[in-house]
Chain A
């Protein structure tokens, strides 16, 4: 099915320059300019009428995911955030996270690995960054289409050489109540935020570490400077502001598993036929659209990831 690989992946610089071309002269000029859209031609020729104040969302040609659905606007992606460390109000996160310091930043990668290492965020940015257009399906039954910037998690893991005893990957978010007022309002949760993947999920090519979106560096409200994106699982699995990655033998307990609220367990793969304890997952509201759309099995990525799960009928994979 869905070919999310090379054809949909655009390096940041090409992406940005293409945007500018399209803004200025439309799709025809884009065709003509394709050959010149190399990194060094980031600035369009002076003759083209380009308005530099235009936001990237205002490109003349709407960009879509592989199913033909348009990107969610940059404004919506950066102003509608579930990030409880700052607030449970989605609209308040952008403001409260505004001053969150994302430099200096280090990510400690260790556990069952041959070469444990502390990566500086600048080291992380040296991995080749590519664009991945993914649907994000929140467990609360809303969704977006987001042009992420990042690289496969597998590339980072290969650098540290996981031992064969490593069965799971445990991720941990930054945590400082002084900088994250939402944690003070929710003392009943076992902070810091923790999430996990099986090693096979972590090594899958669709699983990325993201450093940006819409061709720009991530903003704090979206999990800057480094977050996970696992597009076939409910959004809460895609942990933000990562400071620690450990390879472990036992299945790690996520914050939600440990909270005792009867929320989702470890796997949490998107499935329209397996409902949350309190609401249906059959449909979703795409942010920016009216009405509902049917939720897709594995969020539309079944062809790529279903083989990760033996006995697909087991309800355990989806809760």
Chain B
């Protein structure tokens, strides 16, 4: 039989790479916490790090479809969901650090903090969207909802945009938000049906589909 470890690695390298890359920020966080490297203001440091990882993974997940349509690299579609779920994991950690560690689950304070700070309102909305999408991400839900499932999953576009607004409204200077916004804008543009069709057509003219 050829089902050796080598063969498995060959079949699944991209998926393995996605898991390793997605878990790396979390491993670093645990490492720094255990090693006592985060002493002065761990709350702010970890809020920032989990938030950054969440946005990076949201963008990576959003990039899968355009990478497929532009380069014809089909395998990338197999990691789209896992990247999205990791984005949800980091968003959850981000929210838990905010609610439990920073605000000590003091609901009176939390209510004010969420409802009266616009950057938190939009961040929280993105979190709720990702929560719903993660909850119905299973095959069973996909079957049960049929075509609607795909349409619901498109709410992730909105989550991406909300994440950019979140960063814009919490930063002193807009440079970071602009960077994220431009990348997300391009990735959204590339999936507009006529644009996508034109790209696929152009690519097929240049190269025969590789796989």
B interface residue count range (under 10 / 10 to 19 / 20 to 34 / 35 or more): 20 to 34
User: Is A280 part of the binding interface, using a Cβ–Cβ cutoff of 8 Å?
Assistant: yes
**Complex contacts, A75 vs chain B, CB 8 Å:** 39-40
User: Is B112 part of the binding interface, using a Cβ–Cβ cutoff of 8 Å?
Assistant: yes
Shortest distance from the beta carbon of A278 to any chain B beta carbon, whole Å: 5
On whether A261 and B173 interact (CB within 8 A), knowing A290-B104, A291-B106, A292-B103, the answer reads yes
- Whether A285 pairs with B119 at a CB distance below 8 angstroms is no
Q: Which residues of A contact B (CB under 8 A)?
A: 75-76, 79-80, 88, 90-91, 142, 186, 188, 261, 263, 275, 278-280, 282-283, 285, 287, 290-292
CA of A90 to CA of B113, assembled, Å: 24
Say what secondary structure dominates the interface of chain A. Answer: loop
Shortest distance from the beta carbon of A166 to any chain B beta carbon, whole Å: 32
**Complex contacts, A285 vs chain B, CB 8 Å:** 41, 43-44, 102
- Whether B118 pairs with A278 at a CB distance below 8 angstroms is yes
- Whether A291 pairs with B104 at a CB distance below 8 angstroms is yes
Say what secondary structure dominates the interface of chain B. Answer: helix
B103-116 interface code vs A (CB 8 A; 1 in, 0 out): 11010010011001
Taking A280-B113, A283-B103 as given, write out 15 further A-B residue pairs in contact, using a Cβ cutoff of 8 Å, ordered by the A residue number. A75-B39, A75-B40, A76-B39, A91-B40, A275-B116, A275-B117, A279-B117, A279-B119, A285-B43, A285-B102, A290-B104, A291-B101, A291-B104, A292-B102, A292-B109
- Whether B41 pairs with A142 at a CB distance below 8 angstroms is yes
**Complex contacts, A142 vs chain B, CB 8 Å:** 41, 44
**Complex contacts, B103 vs chain A, CB 8 Å:** 283, 291-292
- Whether A76 pairs with B117 at a CB distance below 8 angstroms is no
Selected from B41, B112, B169, B173, the residue in CB contact (under 8 A) with A282 is B112
CA of A76 to CA of B102, assembled, Å: 18
CA of A186 to CA of B171, assembled, Å: 14
Selected from B40, B119, B173, the residue in CB contact (under 8 A) with A76 is B40
User: Is B208 part of the binding interface, using a Cβ–Cβ cutoff of 8 Å?
Assistant: no
CA of A91 to CA of B101, assembled, Å: 20
- Whether A292 pairs with B106 at a CB distance below 8 angstroms is yes
- Whether A80 pairs with B41 at a CB distance below 8 angstroms is yes
Chain A CB within 10 Å, residue with most, of B43, B104, B119, B169: B43
CA of A279 to CA of B168, assembled, Å: 12
User: Is B172 part of the binding interface, using a Cβ–Cβ cutoff of 8 Å?
Assistant: yes
CA of A228 to CA of B148, assembled, Å: 62
Shortest distance from the beta carbon of B179 to any chain A beta carbon, whole Å: 15
- Docked complex: B135-178 residues within 8 A CB-CB of A: 169-170, 172-173
**Complex contacts, A263 vs chain B, CB 8 Å:** 172
Shortest distance from the beta carbon of A28 to any chain B beta carbon, whole Å: 31
**Pairs of residues from A and B, 3 with the lowest C-beta to C-beta distance, nearest first:** A291-B104, A80-B40, A76-B40
- A91's closest neighbor in chain B, by CB? B40
CA of A90 to CA of B116, assembled, Å: 26
- Whether A90 pairs with B119 at a CB distance below 8 angstroms is no
Selected from A79, A90, A278, A287, the residue in CB contact (under 8 A) with B117 is A278
- Whether B116 pairs with A280 at a CB distance below 8 angstroms is yes
- Docked complex: B75-133 residues within 8 A CB-CB of A: 101-104, 106, 109, 112-113, 116-119
**Complex contacts, B116 vs chain A, CB 8 Å:** 275, 280
